[in-house]
Amino acid sequence: MIDRISKFVNKFEGQASASTVLAQQVRDAQAIALDRAAALLPAEFAGRLDDYSQATYGFAWDRKWAETQAINRLISSYLVAAEVPSDVAHVLELHSATFPHHPMNVELYSTIAERLVGVGDLVAGTELARAGLRNCAQHSEIKRLQERVNRIYGEHPGEIGVPMNFSGPTLRENWFVLNSLQGKPVLVVFWATPISKASEFMASCVDLSERYAATQVEVVGVSLDKKLSDVSSWVAEQTVPCRQVFSAQEGHAGLSNPIAQYYGVKLLPAFFLLDENGIVIARGTDELEVIEQELRRLGTPRLALSGR
């Protein structure tokens, strides 16, 4: 009956002291919840709404007034503020739930996400943008937010906080799309057989994925070899049980590979660890310890990392 708003009230009520704006948004959400309940069961909730309005605001509560006040607070506190407050995600989520069709919802998410990205906080900016896509999914202007999110992604390929996706032929000439593995964490490794450090790293990553099998992490190799026979022979010798993307097209070998170029790979080996949603959560060169640290967060290892 009080539906989604009640859940958000419960979620944020304990955090209302975090900022004046958040506390006011929580009070507005409670009034909205009572207002919706009163529309369905006036005998039970109308009096409670009146009592709450008088105690909280000092007068009879009005939805339009509350909506105007709420958006004014957000604009002055979050769009004009010198720095983006740390509770911005909570406040915007609560506002979009309380006033789901307000025309400023998408603009607030878009503008503040871009501000965060602009000051170098890419992770916070992209997280806020994705939250906006979820919380404003039914908003008439949602396409505008998706366009801005896509622009941010396009300007920061391969960086932490940004989704990664590519496609290409495998060793067996099947076509592979990275997004097909969504739902599981994925470890993407750029490597080549002539570079012993890279091939050893590739083998260690597979070993690591097996030892952290509880995470269900999938390893995807992107071979930058010149010859299919070289990488095929190495994989056969190592019995490496993971997908290998390889292109025999001219100009696709080494660091000239278009996938490597797009994601800024300049040294081999290089890795990108993605969460189950395809978002990059770690990247680097040959730091196995970084991968293991992230895998620990995703699940409990069955065995310790070997010295392989």
The confidence score (pLDDT) of residue 1 equals 47
pLDDT above 90: residue 290: yes
Last residue of a domain, which of 91, 121, 155?
Answer: 155
Does residue 170 surpass a pLDDT of 90?
yes
Task: Pick the last residue of a domain from 155, 189, 212.
Answer: 155
Q: Tell me what the mean pLDDT of segment 55-60 comes to.
A: 86
The band of 80, judged by pLDDT with boundaries at 50, 70 and 90, is confident
Q: Which two tokens stand for residue 146?
A: 């998706």
* Same domain for 143 and 11: yes
Q: How many domains does the chain have?
A: 2
pLDDT band at 21 (very low <50, low <70, confident <90, very high): confident
In angstroms, rounded to a whole number, what is the distance separating the alpha carbons of residues 282 and 164?
12
Looking at the fold, whether 182 and 72 belong to one and the same domain comes out as: no
Tell me, what's the pLDDT at 308? 37
pLDDT tens across 101-121, in order? 898 999 999 999 999 999 999
Q: Is residue 265 part of a domain?
A: yes
pLDDT at 55 over 80: yes
pTM above 0.85, yes or no: no
Note the pLDDT of residue 106.
95
Mean pLDDT rounded to a whole number for the chain: 88
pLDDT at 15 over 80: no
Does 173 score more than 80 pLDDT?
Answer: no
Q: Angle of helix 122-135 relative to helix 105-118, nearest 10 degrees?
A: 170
In a domain, residue 270? The reply is yes
Which comes out higher in pLDDT, residue 279 or 23? 279
Q: Tell me whether residue 275 is in a domain.
A: yes
pLDDT at 83 over 70: yes
How far apart, in whole angstroms, are the C-alpha atoms of residue 163 and residue 182?
11
Longest dimension (CA), the chain: 80
Residue 9 shares a structural domain with residue 151: yes
Print the domain residue range for 178: 167-298
Percent of the chain with pLDDT over 70: 90
Same domain, 82 and 214: no
Residues 206 and 87 in one domain: no
Instruction: Say if residue 113 is in the same domain as residue 208.
Output: no
Task: Give residue 167's pLDDT band: very low, low, confident or very high (50, 70, 90).
Answer: very high
